[in-house]
Amino acid sequence: MKVPLLDLKAQYASIKREIDNALIRAAESQHFILGPEVERLEKSLAGLLGCKYAVGVSSGTDALLIALMALDIKPGDEVIVPTFSFFATAGVVARLNAIPVFADIDPVTFNVDPNDLERRISLKTKVIIPVHLYGQSADMDPIMEIAAKHSLKVVEDAAQAIGAQYRDGCRVGTIGDIGCFSFFPSKNLGGFGDGGLVVTNNDDLAERLRILRVHGGKPKYYHKVIGGNFRLDAIQAAVLNVKLRYLDAWSEKRRENAALYSELFIQSGLAEKEGVTAFDSQNVVLLPEAVYKNAGYRDYHIYNQYVIRVQKRDEIREYLTNSGIGTEIYYPVPFHRQECFAYLNCSDSDYPHSNFASEHSLALPIYPELSAEQITYVVECVSDFVSKDSAEATQSHKEGMLT
């Protein structure tokens, strides 16, 4: 059986007619950049997320970049980011000649650890960027408290978490000063190319974001500030306006798939029910939502990724690949270990949880169109690997005793 990591053709097939019509409408309008389709998308998303302003931009990376520009981040300013995230979270900081300061993650949720974050604040710190990794909210209450205490701004990297909720139903991205989203094709709401969104409840920031999106010109050709070309294409908005209608149902299906995985991992004896956060002789799989319940979270996780923690991660991954199953490692190298950030002279031992995560995480296929048979097959393959592996271990132990 084949189980790809993601199957966008299956999604397209399910809504082909609507998408094709939207593409034709976009072609016939010959309106290519910003315009009515983008405005419609911005309005719908502001409504769905429950915020005052939504501004469509060219990518999730540019959403982060324009957010920092709107907050007037200058060379030498410090911005705190988790060391365990997609590269863009740190890359945008360095591109403004500001200094990325890395914080370790919580070993349970893999989101930034608020305590570790606080001890890295200096007089130069201006912004904190929590990331809602894999589609699960970071712990925003303590982060917002710390930010208020030190007069820092908060930019949420919600690229993987559109529609996810924190605590009482608050949508992520709307809690900090600016929220950033990505429409990269593999995200829960993915376009037919690059795209992104910034959201805010602040009138002045919304105005700044709109001006920075078009090179900082307002009126056109008169520049008080230097912006860039951060515009969203109409054709992307046309596709996203169709897909938006299905977003909640798709996220719900991802959650059902996650629940089935976890149930099967527990049934097969590979994982334990209650939030187990360390390996022992019994479990070889640590489940994302077991740990999430254990932490007392009541958040709405949208499972952009279903990431288990396993021993012998690279061997299991190879076994799954050979069995026709697509997997991925998000992320194999934390920022403090990246060559391009060697100049920051970070101490590796300062980041034990991120190091652990980078060595043990494995993302399994979780997309909405997966069948129960496919999920069952993935769990069976992990189980097969574990049985073969322990049989081999017993065999070599016996041989060791004989010699």
Ligand X SMILES: *Cc1c(COP(=O)(O)O)cnc(C)c1O
Work out whether 157 is an interface residue with ligand X (CB under 6 A): yes
Look at the chain and count its residues. Answer: 403
Select the span of 33-41, 80-88, 162-170, 378-386 touching ligand X (CB under 6 A). Answer: 80-88
Q: Is 334 in the site for ligand X (CB under 6 A)?
A: no
Stretch near ligand X under the rule CB under 6 A, chosen from 98-106, 153-161, 163-171, 246-254: 153-161
**Site for ligand X (CB under 6 A): which residue of 184, 250, 331, 367?**
184
Distance set, CA 336 to CA 84, 236, 349, 354 (Å): 9, 35, 10, 9
* 196 part of the interface to ligand X, by CB under 6 A: yes
Q: Which of 7, 365, 61, 23 is nearest to 192 (CA)?
A: 23
Q: Which long-range contacts (CB under 8 A, 24 or more apart) does 311-316 make?
A: 311/279, 311/284, 311/360, 312/284, 312/389, 313/359, 313/360, 313/361, 313/362, 315/385, 315/389, 316/362, 316/382, 316/385
**How many residues form the binding site for ligand X (CB under 6 A)?**
15
**Distance in angstroms (rounded) separating the CA atoms of residues 383 and 270:** 7
For the CB of residue 167, give the shortest distance to ligand X in the complex, in Å.
21
Contact window for ligand X (CB under 6 A) among 4-12, 55-63, 113-121, 356-364: 55-63
Q: Which amino acid is at 272?
A: E
109 near ligand X, rule: CB under 6 A:
no
233 beta partners:
33
Per CB under 6 A, the list member of 11, 89, 200, 358 interacting with ligand X is 89
Q: Which of 160, 257, 361, 374 binds ligand X (CB under 6 A)?
A: 160
Select the span of 42-50, 54-62, 94-102, 257-265 touching ligand X (CB under 6 A): 54-62
Pick out residues in 112-141 that bind ligand X (CB under 6 A).
131
- Using the rule CB under 6 A, is 85 a contact of ligand X? yes
DSSP letter for 371, please.
-
Residue 159 sits in the site that holds ligand X (CB under 6 A) = yes
Q: Which amino acid is at 5?
A: L
Q: How far apart are CA 120 and CA 118, in angstroms?
A: 5
Among 83, 111, 125, 182, binds ligand X (CB under 6 A): 182
307 near ligand X, judged by CB under 6 A: no
Determine if 82 is a binding residue for ligand X (CB under 6 A).
Answer: no
Distance CA 371, CA 366 (A): 10
Choosing from 86, 110, 265, 303, the residue that interacts with ligand X (CB under 6 A) is 86
Among 56, 60, 114, 191, which residue interacts with ligand X (rule: CB under 6 A)?
60
The residue written with tokens 């073969």 in the block is 388
When asked if residue 365 is in the footprint of ligand X (CB under 6 A), the reply is no
- Return the number of other C-beta atoms located less than 10 Å from residue 117's C-beta: 25
* Residues at the interface with ligand X (CB under 6 A): 59-61, 85-86, 88-89, 131, 157, 159-160, 182, 184, 194, 196
